[in-house]
């Protein structure tokens, strides 16, 4: 079956995110979630590097050994993961955000500019029928179903890797002694390195005795590939695509606001907020990619496909292999071709609240990530899974910037995660699934991140300056 190849590709990829990383001061690494975070009380901030991994969904259950991919980039079926036996419409995601270098600077304590860079790798699969999913790769821990007729409706698979150059501006638009409001906007220059997409509005096929052949294949499929898409889609190193010469450009933008209710005591050096509330819309935009010669729409009419013969061949482009092995030999009839195709960014709404429960010691953070994209077979698009995260955070020493938190997350696939995050000066490390590994032998998502970002603080006022106020 033609979805087998992209399913296997998705299961072997790498990913990343930063759930629970919403501390109060070092915000250069979360400007991507809200550009208004560029406006701080510091003279400037520098993000040297931030990276991590995140992948999940209801396709797979991971073993603890899956974290070995952090060193060797490999995840093995049957050993590191098995298919999730729960019956459901199948969805999965893999995200990667490699941030840095980047910096933000403040002017007159009112204006702020930031320039941040990064590489992002996004993979999504949505609306895969449970019977089809169970049937594919029956040797990975699930029994072969007795049903021999399978149907696919509104299936979509989209993956892309691209560089990102972000220019952010933030300013205080309202300020009193006790509160202030900052607004921010980010313009994104996007350079796509590689992308691939497969959508199936409707299709059906039959099998006989699990012989590895799909019979009576009927339906329509839309294929889109950049030239040499296999450099990131069918290997363990998706960032190899960054070496490709590309004219795949795109634009995007984000906008946000942050409201502070803060303590103002001029007889003390201690200044902090009692509450911080942030709202933003991010990743509005898309990238236009050059398409391989085989990209387009195809009709299948009582075709026969030997899907088990699909193998990973790094010496041939994925698009040409699809054409040569399945489409050229009267398997499918070309309906339309495409010289370019567009892949949308994962547009999302972010709400964040950080409450100072005990002055400068204990905070409670709530974060809502709401997906604004409706994935379907009508378009190629990436999206985030809607997630709610609650993170209590405790400062061991406010002056030394040492703190730790425990994020609890719950997403729209009804999956929960319990993790930990630690901040030690400019360094932070965390995982929203840290404790899942100890609670369960198998779990449905994995996550890890770390980073190094430096604050350039304002000069302290001398004690006599406070006494003169």
Convert the pLDDT of each residue in 92-107 to its tens digit.
888 888 888 999 999 8
Residues 6+ apart with CB under 8 A from 120: 95, 96, 97, 98, 161, 162, 164
pLDDT exceeds 50 at position 14: no
Of the pLDDT bands very low, low, confident and very high (cuts 50, 70, 90), residue 130 is confident
Q: Among 15-24, 100-109, 289-298, 427-436, whose mean pLDDT is lowest?
A: 15-24
Of the pLDDT bands very low, low, confident and very high (cuts 50, 70, 90), residue 306 is confident
CA-based nearest residue to 82, from 15, 159, 158, 11: 11
Q: How many angstroms separate the Cα of 451 from the Cα of each of 61, 161, 316, 321?
A: 27, 21, 37, 39
pLDDT exceeds 60 at position 312: no
Instruction: Compute the distance between CA of residue 402 and CA of residue 399 in angstroms, rounded to an integer.
Output: 8
Segment 167-176 shows an average pLDDT of 94
For 131, phi and psi rounded to 5 degrees? -65, -40
Instruction: Compute the distance between CA of residue 200 and CA of residue 205 in angstroms, rounded to an integer.
Output: 13
Instruction: Compute the distance between CA of residue 274 and CA of residue 358 in angstroms, rounded to an integer.
Output: 9
Predicted pLDDT at 323: 54
Instruction: Compute the distance between CA of residue 335 and CA of residue 113 in angstroms, rounded to an integer.
Output: 49
Residue, of 229 and 248, whose pLDDT is higher: 248
Predicted pLDDT at 72: 62
Predicted pLDDT at 68: 67
Predicted pLDDT at 256: 97
Inter-residue contact 395 to 423 (CB < 8 Å): no
Predicted pLDDT at 270: 40
Instruction: Compute the distance between CA of residue 388 and CA of residue 397 in angstroms, rounded to an integer.
Output: 28
DSSP state for residue 426 in the 8-state scheme: T
What CATH architecture applies to the domain 3-468?
A: Beta Barrel (2.40)
Inter-residue contact 278 to 256 (CB < 8 Å): yes
DSSP state for residue 186 in the 8-state scheme: E
Predicted pLDDT at 47: 92
Instruction: Compute the distance between CA of residue 401 and CA of residue 155 in angstroms, rounded to an integer.
Output: 47
Of the pLDDT bands very low, low, confident and very high (cuts 50, 70, 90), residue 326 is low
Of the pLDDT bands very low, low, confident and very high (cuts 50, 70, 90), residue 138 is very low
Token digits of residue 65: 């050994």
Residue, of 91 and 307, whose pLDDT is higher: 91
Segment 284-308 shows an average pLDDT of 86
Instruction: Compute the distance between CA of residue 317 and CA of residue 227 in angstroms, rounded to an integer.
Output: 7
Token digits of residue 168: 């952010």
pTM of the model: 0.84
Residue, of 124 and 442, whose pLDDT is higher: 124
Q: Among 19-33, 52-66, 299-313, whose mean pLDDT is lowest?
A: 299-313
Predicted pLDDT at 253: 95
pLDDT exceeds 80 at position 406: yes
Residue 119 CB neighbour total at 10 angstroms = 21
**Percent over 70 (pLDDT), the chain:** 77
Of the pLDDT bands very low, low, confident and very high (cuts 50, 70, 90), residue 365 is very high
Kindly report the average pLDDT of the chain as a whole number. 80
pLDDT tens per residue, range 175-228 = 888 889 999 999 999 999 889 899 999 999 888 877 778 888 899 999 888 886
Predicted pLDDT at 9: 32
pLDDT tens per residue, range 243-288 = 666 678 999 999 999 999 987 554 433 457 889 999 999 999 999 9
- Which single residue is written with the structure tokens 């501006």? 169
Segment 126-139 shows an average pLDDT of 76
CA-based nearest residue to 51, from 27, 70, 74: 70
Predicted pLDDT at 460: 63
Segment 368-373 shows an average pLDDT of 93
**203-217 burial code (b ≥16 CB/10 A, e <16):** bbbebeeeeebbeeb
Predicted pLDDT at 246: 63
Inter-residue contact 301 to 312 (CB < 8 Å): no
Instruction: Compute the distance between CA of residue 25 and CA of residue 62 in angstroms, rounded to an integer.
Output: 35
Enumerate the β-bridge partners of residue 105.
Answer: 44, 113
Predicted pLDDT at 442: 73
CA 408 to chain centre: 18
303, 307, 313, 315 alpha-carbon torsion, rounded to 10°: 0
End-to-end CA distance of the chain: 76
For 174, phi and psi rounded to 5 degrees? -155, 135
């Amino acid at each position: 079956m033609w979805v087998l190849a992209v399913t296997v590709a998705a299961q072997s990829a790498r990913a990343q995110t930063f759930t629970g990383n919403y501390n109060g001061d070092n915000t250069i690494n979360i400007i991507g979630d809200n550009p208004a975070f560029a406006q701080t009380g510091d003279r400037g901030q520098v993000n040297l590097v931030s990276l991590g991994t995140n992948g999940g969904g209801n396709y797979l259950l991971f073993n603890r050994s899956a974290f070995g991919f952090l060193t060797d980039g490999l995840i093995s079926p049957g050993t590191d993961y098995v298919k999730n036996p729960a019956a459901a419409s199948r969805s999965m995601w893999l995200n990667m955000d490699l941030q840095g270098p980047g910096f933000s600077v403040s002017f007159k304590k009112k204006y702020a500019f930031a320039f941040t860079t990064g590489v992002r790798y996004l993979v999504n699969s949505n609306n895969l029928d449970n019977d089809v999913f169970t049937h594919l790769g029956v040797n990975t821990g699930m029994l072969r179903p007795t049903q021999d007729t399978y149907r696919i409706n509104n299936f979509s698979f989209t993956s892309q890797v691209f560089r990102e150059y972000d220019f952010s501006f933030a300013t205080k638009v309202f300020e009193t002694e006790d509160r202030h409001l900052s607004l921010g906007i980010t313009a994104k220059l996007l350079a796509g390195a590689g992308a691939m997409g497969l959508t199936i509005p409707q299709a059906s096929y039959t099998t006989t005795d699990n012989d590895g052949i799909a019979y009576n294949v009927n339906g329509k499929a839309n294929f889109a590939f950049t030239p040499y898409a296999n450099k990131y889609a069918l290997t363990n190193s998706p960032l190899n695509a960054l070496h490709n010469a590309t004219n795949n450009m795109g634009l995007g933008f984000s906008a946000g606001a942050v409201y502070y209710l803060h303590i103002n005591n001029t007889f003390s050096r201690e200044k902090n907020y009692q509450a911080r509330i942030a709202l933003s819309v991010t990743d509005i935009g898309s990238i236009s990619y050059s398409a391989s010669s085989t990209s387009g729409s195809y009709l299948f009419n009582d075709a026969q496909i030997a899907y088990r013969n699909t193998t990973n061949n790094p010496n041939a482009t994925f698009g040409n292999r699809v054409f040569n092995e399945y489409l050229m030999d009267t398997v499918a009839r070309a309906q339309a071709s495409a010289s370019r195709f567009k892949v949308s960014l994962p547009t999302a709404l972010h709400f964040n609240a950080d409450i100072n429960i005990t002055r400068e010691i204990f905070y409670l953070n709530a974060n809502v990530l709401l997906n604004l994209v409706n994935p379907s077979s009508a378009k190629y698009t990436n999206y985030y899974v809607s997630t709610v995260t609650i993170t209590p955070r405790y400062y061991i020493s406010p002056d030394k910037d040492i703190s730790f938190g425990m994020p609890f997350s719950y997403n729209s696939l009804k999956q929960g995660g319990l993790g930990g995050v630690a901040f030690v000066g400019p360094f932070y490390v965390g995982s929203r699934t840290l404790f899942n590994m100890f609670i369960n032998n198998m779990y449905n998502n994995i996550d890890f991140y770390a980073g190094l970002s430096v604050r350039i603080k304002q000069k302290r006022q001398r004690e006599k300056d406070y006494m003169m106020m």
